Amino acid sequence: MESLDATNITIEQEVKKEAKHISDPHQHKDAIGAKIGMWLFLFTELLLFGGLFLLYMAYRLQYTKDFIIAGQELNLILGTVNTIILLTSSLTMALSIAAIQRGKKSLSIFYLISTIGFALAFLVIKYFEWTAKFHHGIYPNAPELLSKPNGEIIFYAMYYSMTGLHALHVVIGAIILLFMLVFLIRNKITKGDYIKLENSGLYWHLVDLIWIFLFPLFYLIH
Amino acid sequence: MGSATLIEKAENYLEYKAHKGIFAWLLSTDHKRIGLLYLIAMISFLWVGITLGFIMKLEMLTPDKTIVDAQTYNALFTLHGVIMIFLFIIPGIPAIFGNFFLPIQIGARDVAFPRLNLFSWYLYITGGLFAIASLFLQGGPIDTGWTFYVPYSIRTTTNVILPLLGAFILGFSSILTGLNFITTVHRLRAPGMTFFRLPLFVWALYATAWIQVVATPVVGITILLVVIERVLHIGIFDPALGGDPLLFQHLFWIYSHPAVYIMILPAMGVVSEIIPTFARRTIFGYKVIAFSSLAIALIGYFVWAHHMFTSGMSDTARMVFSLLTFLVAVPSGVKVFNWVATLYKGSIELRAPLIYVMMFIFLFSIGGLTGLVLGSLATDIHVTDTYFVVAHFHYVMFGGTAIILFAALHYWFPKMFGKMYNEKLAIAATPFIFVGFNLLYFTMFILGYLGMPRRYWSYLPEYQTLHIISTVGSWVLILGLIIMFANLIYALFKGKPAEANPWGGVTLEWTIPSPPPHENFDKIPNVTNGPYDFSHINETKDGKS
């Protein structure tokens, strides 16, 4: 009897432990809460770029002519291709979430891989765009750039800092999506619990959205 | 049978250990432990800041060199500012007491994102180490002043990049804490805890959290641009390449003025907690105080350029910003009147926390009213960049926020540690602090009015008498602070055990044991009345006596 009691107690303790593990008060699942947090974070990201947009506005008013001249030297074709790539990647991202919502795991994986592929394509094009500019001596503190009027120097300062910060976000976004891919494959993201993928998608759309503003501000001014 | 006792006696959070040794602290996601981690770190940084300030005041004893040379003095006032503002005052009350009491006051077991909360602390420590590291590295400590104004900050040869990155990381920490608190207030309130039943401390933290989220990213990008400017010379803030230093000032203050309200709003929240508890009556004008927090958060966003009245702006811009500055003083005034009205005909019990609060009301009112002198265009031009400004913001920041941080420390000490401090000693420290404070800073108002510029290492001999009074004041003040902290540290080890509710408070934290159990509440409470309902407490008290 006594040994039975003892085992009973240990079982009880096990159960308690298990229950505690699941309902640990300091770790809980709350999809809506996670989404609120994500939206707030996106808001801060917008404001991070907001500071740069403010500077752009002030300098464009100050140096309108120089901005137009410098803007025409950017490669419109590459910029347009990149815009299309990012827009498409947002689509595949949304499709990936839609797929997992309906429980179609492999389809979701396929769309997610496409999204990551588009992200890489964007970065490769960006790389060629920047290096081409570097070859022409247009990079910060380069003697050739410094020989240009101040307005153009500022244009390229804004161009490099804004597209650079954006490219950094693309890299971060791609890394996050890679993690999501692993989670999808390992069934950590499922039909019932896909908030991680949804939040990553929100982040990815933000990256896309910012580019939608950067593209006309730099490539399309005249 | 064994399990029955297990359930009944919940371990308090200081005993509960999820990990071994020091990791029970370093890896804990318990909001209460994280609050204490912040407390330890911040009090340490506070004393570093106090020491730097103490040396600065010693230097000011004589018109020329007393103990340090001019360049060291530049570094001293910069680091004093950086440490006190970015590492102590801005994160102060929300990170320590917000973390500890926000979940308890709304009847939750933790914040919405506990792991993110711990991560914020690590970011905070990293940022702090970055700022301190510049002291010891080649090039020497940063000498730009805590505002990092360009073009000097892109030209000086001292270590600017590290403290800047430190400030950026601290900003990140602040954003994540804010985001966490907003989500917590929206998602984890106990049943029955409606928005208008939230304690006013929670309201203040909620408004603060919004400022943290909305304002901090702007200074983040501004700081990054200065770093990029120093490394790559892109020209955005460099006048030689067409950049406009004034734009830096705008972007900097777009954050750093709302940051002033990040500093003061939580303190106002604490005042709204302490006054009803020791006046034994409900707060006067609950909703008005709650909304005035939001109003301050909102209007505070549109007054930044009053830091730049003499920097070069159009008259229209200056007048608009001056007007808005006057407007933002209104909600603060509303709060002060409400607090005083709460005390009126209350059954006041003059305990240490309330004495600190009364000191706050006095000092903060001086700070606030002299702020109007600086907010008016004509008078500002006379006293800007003088000791008058230094005195003003020390009255607001130190006399306001830091004094309330001390009040909060005394008010919640029994709850946090389960120990009582020596009340007589706690009260005995206050005259030293009060007299020392006013000797130290009120003389600065006079010095500034007479024309003593801020940040100067040497001065004209006629200012010496006032400088000496001010320096002596700093000694008295520090003596008071030593008494206060020594008393608390002694209580930590040797204090008598505290009851669950030593003050007769009525918010939720007083309904649970001291120190609180690991899970805060056995059962999530069901809230049925507003936060400052003393009717039941008063009945039982009358019954007893």
What would the DSSP string read from start to end of chain A?
-HHHHHHHHHHHHHHHHHHHHHT-TTS---HHHHHHHHHHHHHHHHHHHHHHHHHHHHHHHHTHHHHHHHHTTS-HHHHHHHHHHHHHHHHHHHHHHHHHHTT-HHHHHHHHHHHHHHHHHHHHHHHHHHHHHHHTT-STT-HHHHTS-HHHHHHHHHHHHHHHHHHHHHHHHHHHHHHHHHHHHTTSS-SS--HHHHHHHHHHHHHHHHHHHHHHHHHS--
Q: Where do we find the tokens 């200056």?
A: B318
* Predicted local confidence at residue B399, as pLDDT: 95
Q: What does the block give as tokens for B8?
A: 């009944």
CATH number of the domain encompassing residue A131: 1.20.120.80
Give the count of domains, chain A.
Answer: 1
Q: Is A51 on the interface with B (CB under 8 A)?
A: yes
CB of A222 closer than 8 Å to CB of A58: no
pLDDT for the residue A106: 95
pLDDT at A197: 96
Predicted confidence at residue B544, as pLDDT, reads: 43
Residue B541: pLDDT over 70: no
Residue A216 scores a pLDDT above 80: yes
Length reported for chain B: 545
Among chain A residues, the shortest Cα distance to B31 is held by A26
CA dist B368 and B19 (Å) reads 47
Number of H-type helices and E-type strands within chain B = 20, 2
A15 lies in some domain: no
Nearest to A48 among B220, B228, B518 (CB): B220
Distance from CA of A89 to the nearest CA of B (A): 27
Q: Between these two residues, B220 and B2, which has the higher pLDDT value?
A: B220
What's the rounded Cα separation, in Å, for the pair B526 and A70? 64
The answer to whether residue A3 is domain-embedded is: no
- Three-state secondary-structure class, residue B497: strand
Q: What integer pLDDT is reported at residue B545 of this predicted model?
A: 37
pLDDT at B134: 80
- Residue A84: which domain range? 47-219
- Chain A residues whose beta carbon lies within 8 Å of the beta carbon of residue B120: none
Instruction: Tell me which of A135-144, B171-180, B489-498 is least confident.
Output: A135-144
Domain ranges of chain B: 2-544
- Give the mutation candidate from B6, B9, B183, B210 for the A interface (greatest A CB count, under 10 A): B183
Is residue A128 very low, low, confident or very high in pLDDT (cuts 50, 70, 90)? very high
Tell me what the mean pLDDT of segment B74-101 comes to.
Answer: 94
Task: Decide: B131 and B83 in contact? Cβ < 8 Å.
Answer: yes
Place of tokens 């940063």: B142
User: Measured between alpha carbons, how far is B300 from B294 in angstroms, rounded to an integer?
Assistant: 10
Residue A37 belongs to a domain: no
Contact call for A157 and B520, based on CB within 8 A = no
pLDDT of residue B1: 37
Which one, of A17, A20, A33, A61, lies nearest residue A195 by Cα?
Answer: A33
pLDDT recorded at residue A21 = 41
Q: Which residue of A has its CA nearest to B242?
A: A150
Does residue A193 sit at the B interface (CB-CB below 8 Å)?
Answer: no
Average pLDDT rounded to a whole number, residues B142-166: 91
- pLDDT band, residue B9 (cuts 50/70/90): low
Instruction: Please write the tens of the pLDDT for every residue from A23-44.
Output: 454 556 788 999 999 999 999 9
- Report, as an integer, the average pLDDT of B452-480: 96
Which of A27, A46, A47 to mutate to probe the B interface, most B CBs <10 Å?
A: A47
The reply to whether A213 falls in a domain is yes
pLDDT-based confidence at residue B537 (cuts at 50, 70, 90): low
CA–CA separation, B272 and B280 (whole Å)? 12
Which one of 3.40.50.300, 2.60.120.920, 1.20.210.10, 1.10.357.10 gives the CATH number of domain B2-544? 1.20.210.10
> B24: pLDDT confidence band, cut at 50, 70 and 90?
confident
Residue B248 C-beta-side C-alpha neighbours within 13 Å:
22
pLDDT at B10: 65
